Amino acid sequence: MLFIIEGISAILLGIFALRFFTDRPKDADWLSPEERRALERRLDTEAEETRTHGYAGIGQALTSPRVIELGMLYFCLVLYGIGFWMPQVLQTFGLSNLRSVSSPLFPIPLQRSAW
């Protein structure tokens, strides 16, 4: 039942986002004409800077040393750290049978930190 409730809220939010948000500022009815022009100019400027100085494609961005370093840092700190220390943390709370308890309780801190 919990998955259905979470799924329905995600679907409704997705439908809302598709109807409310637009692809370009020129299509946004909720912006004033000045704001639309200013945002279009800024996006054009940023796109030009990206073409001349930055990454042109997703492949270049994903092979950037900085992105690889941050990905490894995330893996080491978050995924490995939680997976390694979670049974010990649960045991300090007085839960002795970790095989039956750690599976349902494991995602709770991850879900709460994502909010």
| DSSP, residue by residue, the chain | -HHHHHHHHHHHHHHHHHHH--SSGGG-TTS-HHHHHHHHHHHHHHHHHHHHTS--SHHHHHT-HHHHHHHHHHIIIIIIHHHHHHHHHHHHTT---HHHHHHHHTHHHHHHHH-
pLDDT at 11: 94
pLDDT at 108: 63
C-alpha distances in Å from residue 38, one per residue of 24, 42, 58: 12, 6, 27
Confirm if 39 and 31 have CB atoms less than 8 A apart: yes
C-alpha distances in Å from residue 115, one per residue of 65, 93, 101, 107, 112: 29, 23, 23, 13, 5
pLDDT at 15: 94
**How does pLDDT run along the chain (115 residues), one tens digit per residue?**
778 888 999 999 999 998 888 888 888 888 899 999 999 999 999 888 877 776 667 887 788 888 899 988 888 777 777 777 777 777 787 766 555 555 555 666 665 665 5
- As given in the structure block, the two tokens for residue 39 are 């945002």
